[in-house]
Amino acid sequence: MARHTLFTRLWRKYVRALRRRPLRTKMLTSGTLMGVSDAMAQKISGTDSIKLWRTALMALYGLLWVGPTGHYWHEVCESFFSKRRDNATVIRKVAVEQLTYGPVQNVSMMIYLGLIIKGKAWNTVVSKIRADLLRVQVAAWKIWPLAALINHKFVPIQLRVLFMNLVALFWSSPLTLNH
């Protein structure tokens, strides 16, 4: 019972923070979950100790890129589609997201991993993207369309970045492992 009460109080505080400062809350959420995702990826890879510098850089990526782009993407998407949730509109939202926002996020992640995390030269990063992007995007399309469909159909707009961050928790771990 005490756990339930604690969780309920924390959840209410989180929702209140989303109402008061939506962008900041989504940035902090994305940063935290990107850091957790990176730590998970490192543990899964069998590393003896977590490289905190790498986890901090991934958290920074979530804070400064994933959170803001997710926040504004959903605002623009809702504005463009007049906040409708009928099935045809949701399918159009998912299609637009998977053909624009999704690939942009994958390329940006690959650039960040290559340049910032791995310290590779720009030409090397571009070559890696050319070699791997199709494989990464096809893998993404096995997960993200369903997640986006659930998100756009059932999740309130203020919680959509959180929902996608939770899906990304498990998507980003393998992506960072394979890059």
What's the pLDDT at 77? 95
- Of the chain, the end-to-end C-alpha distance in Å amounts to 43
pLDDT at 176 over 60: no
What's the pLDDT at 172? 67
Q: pLDDT per residue over 73-94, tens digit each? A: 999 999 999 888 999 999 999 9
Integer Cα distance of 18 and 175 in angstroms: 28
pLDDT at 24 over 90: yes
What's the pLDDT at 1? 55
Q: Percentage of the chain surpassing pLDDT 90?
A: 83
Please give the residue that has the higher pLDDT: either 154 or 173.
154
Kindly tell me the burial class for residue 75, based on how many C-beta atoms sit within 10 Å of its own C-beta (0-12, 13-18, 19 or more).
middle
Residue range(s) defining the domain that contains residue 12? 2-178
Picking from 56, 101, 95, the residue whose alpha carbon sits closest to that of residue 75 is 101
Domain count, the chain: 1
CA distances from 37 to 9, 31, 44, 117 (A): 25, 10, 10, 14
Average pLDDT across the chain, whole number: 93
Are 137 and 3 in contact by the 8 Å Cβ rule? The answer is no
Picking from 54, 30, 29, the residue whose alpha carbon sits closest to that of residue 40 is 54
pLDDT band at 133 (very low <50, low <70, confident <90, very high): very high
Average pLDDT of the segment spanning 28-46: 92
Helix axes 2-20, 22-44, angle to 10 degrees: 130
CA triple 44-169-102, angle to 5 deg: 120
Q: pLDDT per residue over 90-131, tens digit each? A: 999 999 999 999 999 999 999 999 999 999 999 999 999 999
Integer Cα distance of 119 and 129 in angstroms: 15
179: which residues sit within 8 A by CB, 6+ positions away? 110, 113, 114, 117, 118, 128, 132
- pTM of full prediction above 0.85: yes
What's the pLDDT at 45? 84
